[in-house]
């Protein structure tokens, strides 16, 4: 069956339907990852977005829920040049087509993903609709559509969750966290309690943490301005480590500013330079906002890492407190793992 991707400017692309038999609207973004399609689809940082996969084929190793980054995906749709109907992996439980049907996510295959990527790179991230008919009534809502707080809130688990360990206790403030972050912490025997990002300072202190983790998450970081005073107090009392959204919030809490990028960073091949050591590592990234470099000059933060392609800020360290953050994902699954030593850095801070 034919299915169409219609942009807010009226242009459209034609392909073949797969996944759920539904129509949808979302922000269209692209990812350059050659693998990890399941992890991307279940990453809450993609909430409300249609993912255009640059890899020429996805789905060849199937889907196993063991590797989900969250229980339920909140993406709006999937675009792929081709998907594999034949799975070659003993761990696979289902095909990607079956998975998207189960999760009620529509997809389009046999669509020109390269042309779509070039369009986004030129115009920036655009709103788009996935429809089965170019006369669909859903297209009337395309120009006015926006990602609202109700949809974004679906990324956050409202119920605190405890992950046992034999070591010190980390409280993870959830803005749409990835399971891989918890995995890296528990791998180091740390106890982890995941709580909603807007949990009060008193409630956090009652949990007796030894360290604080600020998670990734979707959307504009300035919508979390209510948590900034809490972060200011937490960094004075505990070691703090922020990732992605957590990085942006740590910077905002200390007086820096953020901005929306033209098309963001999404993929596993982003080179980042560590300023102190000169070391360069490849990183997994998924964000549409970044920290304004000039605004850091008036804070107690210093820039620790930069992205080599566009020189955007990729990491900061606090000059007074044991707090640091990175824009990329050192917890990357399926990889790369160049920067997972940052969890050791956090562990050292906690155990001093």
Catalytic residues: 244, 329, 331
Query: Does 288 count as an annotated binding residue?
Result: yes
Residue 217 assigned ligand-binding role: yes
Name the region of 170 (left: φ>0; alpha: ψ -120 to 50; beta: rest): beta
Residue 109 has which token pair?
A: 């295959």
* Nearest residue to 212 (alpha-carbon basis) of 323, 345, 314: 323
Taking each continuous run of H as one helix and of E as one strand, the counts in the chain are 9, 17
Q: What is the CA radius of gyration of the chain?
A: 20
Q: Is 254 assigned to a binding site? A: no
- 267 carries a ligand binding annotation: no
Residue 104 token pair: 């009620």
Residue 15 three-state SS? strand
Known binder of ligand: residue 200?
A: no
Q: Is 62 annotated as a binding residue?
A: no
Between CA 348 and CA 329 the distance in angstroms is 19
Instruction: Please list, in sequence order, all residues whose beta carbon lies within 8 angstroms of the beta carbon of residue 24, skipping any fewer than 6 positions away.
Output: 50, 76, 77, 106, 129, 130, 138
238 marked ligand binding residue: no
Q: Answer yes or no: is 36 a known binding residue.
A: no
Task: Pick out the residues of the known binding site.
Answer: 45, 217, 219, 245, 248, 286, 288-289
Task: Pick out the residues of the known binding site for L-glutamine.
Answer: 45, 217, 219, 245, 248, 286, 288-289
């Amino acid at each position: 069956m034919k299915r169409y991707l219609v942009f807010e400017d009226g242009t459209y692309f034609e392909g073949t339907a797969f996944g759920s038999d539904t129509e949808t609207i979302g922000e269209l973004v692209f990812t350059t990852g050659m693998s990890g399609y399941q992890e991307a689809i279940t990453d809450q940082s993609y909430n409300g977005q249609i993912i255009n996969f640059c890899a020429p084929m996805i789905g060849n190793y199937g889907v196993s829920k063991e590797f989900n980054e969250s229980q339920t995906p909140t993406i709006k749709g999937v675009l792929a040049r081709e998907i594999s109907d034949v799975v070659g992996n003993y761990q696979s439980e289902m095909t990607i087509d079956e998975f998207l049907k189960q999760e009620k996510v529509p997809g389009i295959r046999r669509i020109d993903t390269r042309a779509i990527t070039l369009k986004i790179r030129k115009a920036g991230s655009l709103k788009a609709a996935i429809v089965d008919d170019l006369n669909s009534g859903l297209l009337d809502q395309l120009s006015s559509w926006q990602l609202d707080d109700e949809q974004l809130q679906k990324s956050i688990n409202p119920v605190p969750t405890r992950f046992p360990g034999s070591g010190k206790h980390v409280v993870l403030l959830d803005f749409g966290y990835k399971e891989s972050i918890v995995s890296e912490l528990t791998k180091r025997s740390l106890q982890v309690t995941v709580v909603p990002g807007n949990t009060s300072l008193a409630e956090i202190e009652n949990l007796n943490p030894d360290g604080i983790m600020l998670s990734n998450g979707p959307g504009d970081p300035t919508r979390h301005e209510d948590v900034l005073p809490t972060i200011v107090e937490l960094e004075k009392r505990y070691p703090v480590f922020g990732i992605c959204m957590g990085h942006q919030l740590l910077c905002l809490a200390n007086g820096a500013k953020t901005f929306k990028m033209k098309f963001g960073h999404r993929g596993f091949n982003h080179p980042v330079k560590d300023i102190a050591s000169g070391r360069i590592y490849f990183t997994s990234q998924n964000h549409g906002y970044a920290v304004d470099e000039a605004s850091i000059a008036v804070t107690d933060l210093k820039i620790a890492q930069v992205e080599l392609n566009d020189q955007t800020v990729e990491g900061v360290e606090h000059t007074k407190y044991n707090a640091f953050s990175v824009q990329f994902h050192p917890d990357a699954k399926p990889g790369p793992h160049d920067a997972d030593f940052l969890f050791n850095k956090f562990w050292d801070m906690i155990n001093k």
